[in-house]
Structure 1
Amino acid sequence: MFNQSIKVSNKVIDSKSPVFIIAEIGVNHNGEVELAKKMVDEAYEANVDAVKFQSFYPEELLVESASKAPYQLNTTDVNESQFEMLKKLMLTKEEMQELKLYVEQKGLIFLSTPFDEKSLYELNEMDIPAFKISSTDTTNLLFLKKAAKLGKPILLSTGMCTKEEVAEALKVINATGNLDVILFHCTSNYPTPIDEVNMRAITSLSKEFQVLMGYSDHTEGVGISPYTIPLGVKVIEKHFTLDKRMEGPDHLASLNKEELIKLVEAIRFVESSLGDSEKKPTNSEETTKKNMQKKLVLCKEVRQNDILTEDILTAKRSDIGIPANKVFNFLGKKVKSKLSKNHILTEDDVYES
């Protein structure tokens, strides 16, 4: 069992709450605190709920011979190793603390993904309100166990994972007593081709594991995110940059400020259309219903004591009269007096035969 209402800082995330929007700064600050602050300013202007960074120490995260991912080779210097690239992009604990203070002064929520145990415990010391776990660590069960035991909500990405691997990860988290989990559908390709999004996986994951769902969107532009909301997604995360032309692995697949603003607007637009799931006339439809839904009318002249049959009754638009869906209540009844064709039937026109 998992909680269906999770608090992240001052925001409650549940089935009825607004979508929680995370602007993923990640490493798009290029290792520069002042650039990161400028990104926070622009994310604030876009009305997101949180900004998220990535915390790591290259020597803790990977071996020096580790290759770059294909998308990283396409967006960075091919002669530079992944280790060298990350060394340039990392921020220290002190720099993260400075950014956390800056973010919170803006009224936003500070989040960061820990990519190694040292970063995990440093973020915990900083009293981060939740841990976002990358898809690269969803199968890292010992790391998940240690993160879950810290007692904070877990936002768990599922890119590259099978359903069985997701189940295994949730079992490890659950075993610690930590029930505050939001599962993120994700495709770990930057940018994600539309035919690899697999939005239906959101529904199947939600049904299988009975957890709150998020979506980590790597499609281009505003992308797929708003379309996931009717499927039950309650958290949306999207990469954000100041300039897609900047050097770095993630800029090209990120939103610029104008696109981030459009994304937030699109999410709120779709959200406002969802309603409460009950099928009933809206306030504006009540007047339209009165004028446009049809009423019972005679399609021929009848005499006193004639019995109403299907060939006598029809339905036409009218402001007054008996709704057409009441027709079976009147078939077989007798009319009290002679009535002309196109007469709008009333309760007083008939009696039981």
Structure 2
Amino acid sequence: MKLFETIECGEVYFIAEMSGNHGGSVDKAMEIVRSAAEAGADCLKLQTFTADTITIDCDSPDFQTTPGGLWEGRTLYDLYEEAHTPWEWQAEIKEECERLGMDFLSSVFDPTSVDFLESIGCEMYKIASPELVDVPLIRYAASKGKPMVISCGMGGIDEIADAVEACRSVGNERIVLLKCTSEYPAVYEDMNIATMADMGARFGCAVGLSDHSMGWGVDVAAATLGASVIEKHYCISRKQKTVDSEFSMEPAEFSAMVRDVRRAKASVGRVTYERSEREERGLAGRRSLYAVRDIAPGEKFTSENVRSIRPAHGLAPKHLDDLLGRAAKREIKFGEPITAADL
């Protein structure tokens, strides 16, 4: 498991979230695993629930999906029945992840899901945003002593603090908090990823982004603000309609995101006013003082016969005012640099 190893190296850890994009096919699930590894994911994430462990089969208004949302017109039970990943697949998926050099992660939704994942050797746990307020669940998962990745969508400061304290109350300090906007897809103006850095400072945890927006511009921005983890939903193609395909990344997009996030992270660097080696080679491209007319000995330097121009083989331009009005001590040809001796 390379989560904290990657974070401690100052690099970004990429999670590809399969969710229900397998569409009920184990073959499609395995295709997604292999594709995610090829696209550069460090980790493949599932969700470990059944419709019965996450809700009840009830069609009253309380159990209908949100009006106007992506899944409008369905009961929660019906949606989760379609979206769940059968538990009998998960050990095989985990083994394939490990064979391909990826970590395996899953979201837990009740104690039975934690117990099941323990039985197959899961090395870390994810808490989804809606479960942020389920303090007993968080405490139970954290009690296993494994890293906790917690999405904080819809979470207020007190709710996030409760989740962090639930982990720490059982001696678990290996916590990653993910800024998340629980919209599908998320609107850029609602992302407020500046909050992510504040979460890190406020709670003393590693931070990252669970991103439901389209594209990867937000993820590049998050990298420059200190994100250690980026999580994106992943599918083979959005043309293959599944419960989460509308806001999922395709392989080429995920690969481009990994590339651009790493470039952004590398470009932040450190605070320095030293020139790089490549910059040193470019110093000749600066300006300096040159004779732009022939200047005879004894002739005064003027703005007509001396100018600040490129390249930088002459006296620095800051000396121009000291030079003007002085008499030349030597003959200086057009195109010759002015030197310190001319002062």
TM-score with structure 2 setting the length: 0.82
> Is 1:40 aligned with 2:10?
no
User: How far is 1:29 from its partner?
Assistant: 1.4
Determine which of 276, 282, 285 is the counterpart of 2:279: 285
CA contact (8 A) 2:22 2:242 kept: no
The match for 1:84 is 78
The match for 1:124 is 118
The match for 1:4 is none
In structure 1, runs of 5+ residues without a counterpart are 1-7, 305-312
Distance, in Å, in 2 between the alignment partners of 1:288 and 1:247 is 53
Structure 1 stretch displaced more, 210-219 or 198-207: 198-207
Give the residue type in structure 2 aligned to 1:19: V
1:266-290 deviations in whole A, cap 9, x for unaligned?
3234334333443332222111113
* Aligned sequence identity (%): 25
Distance, in Å, in 1 between the alignment partners of 2:123 and 2:317 is 57
In structure 2, runs of 5+ residues without a counterpart are 299-305
The match for 2:184 is 190
Distance, in Å, in 2 between the alignment partners of 1:153 and 1:140 is 17
> SS state of the match for residue 13, structure 1?
helix
CA RMSD of the aligned region, Å?
A: 3.5
User: How far is 1:91 from its partner?
Assistant: 3.4
> Is 1:179 aligned with 2:173?
yes
Determine which of 58, 61, 73 is the counterpart of 2:51: 58
Give the residue type in structure 2 aligned to 1:178: N
User: How far is 1:110 from its partner?
Assistant: 1.2
Structure 1 stretch displaced more, 120-129 or 34-43: 120-129
CA contact (8 A) 2:177 2:208 kept: yes
The match for 2:148 is 154
Distance, in Å, in 1 between the alignment partners of 2:317 and 2:204 is 43
The match for 2:197 is 203
Equivalence map 1:258-277=2 (5 Å)? 258-277=252-271
Give the residue type in structure 2 aligned to 1:232: G
The match for 1:307 is none
Give the residue type in structure 1 aligned to 2:255: I
The match for 1:310 is none
The match for 2:301 is none
CA contact (8 A) 1:72 1:249 kept: no
Higher strand share: 1
1:207-250 deviations in whole A, cap 9, x for unaligned?
32232211111012345222211011111111112332445431
Distance, in Å, in 2 between the alignment partners of 1:188 and 1:167 is 19
Distance, in Å, in 1 between the alignment partners of 2:129 and 2:138 is 11
1:330-350 deviations in whole A, cap 9, x for unaligned?
99xx99967869985656667
CA contact (8 A) 2:287 2:309 kept: yes
Determine which of 188, 207, 216 is the counterpart of 1:213: 207
> Is 1:137 aligned with 2:131?
yes
Q: What is the aligned residue count?
A: 336
User: How far is 1:104 from its partner?
Assistant: 1.3
CA contact (8 A) 2:19 2:83 kept: no
CA contact (8 A) 1:71 1:190 kept: no
Distance, in Å, in 1 between the alignment partners of 2:340 and 2:217 is 56
> SS state of the match for residue 21, structure 2?
coil
Distance, in Å, in 2 between the alignment partners of 1:71 and 1:178 is 38
| Residue 130 to residue 315, structure 1, CA distance change in 2 (3 Å) | same
User: How far is 1:89 from its partner?
Assistant: 3.4
| Residue 126 to residue 254, structure 1, CA distance change in 2 (3 Å) | same
> SS state of the match for residue 150, structure 1?
coil
Give the residue type in structure 1 aligned to 2:197: T
The match for 2:236 is 242
Distance, in Å, in 2 between the alignment partners of 1:134 and 1:82 is 16
Distance, in Å, in 1 between the alignment partners of 2:119 and 2:45 is 17
1:186-225 deviations in whole A, cap 9, x for unaligned?
0011001111111221232223223221111101234522
User: How far is 1:11 from its partner?
Assistant: 6.3
| Residue 109 to residue 68, structure 1, CA distance change in 2 (3 Å) | farther
Structure 1 stretch displaced more, 123-132 or 269-278: 269-278
CA contact (8 A) 1:222 1:255 kept: no
| Residue 197 to residue 349, structure 1, CA distance change in 2 (3 Å) | same
Distance, in Å, in 2 between the alignment partners of 1:142 and 1:320 is 71
> SS state of the match for residue 228, structure 2?
strand
User: How far is 1:144 from its partner?
Assistant: 1.3
The match for 2:302 is none
| Residue 345 to residue 208, structure 1, CA distance change in 2 (3 Å) | farther
The match for 1:74 is 70
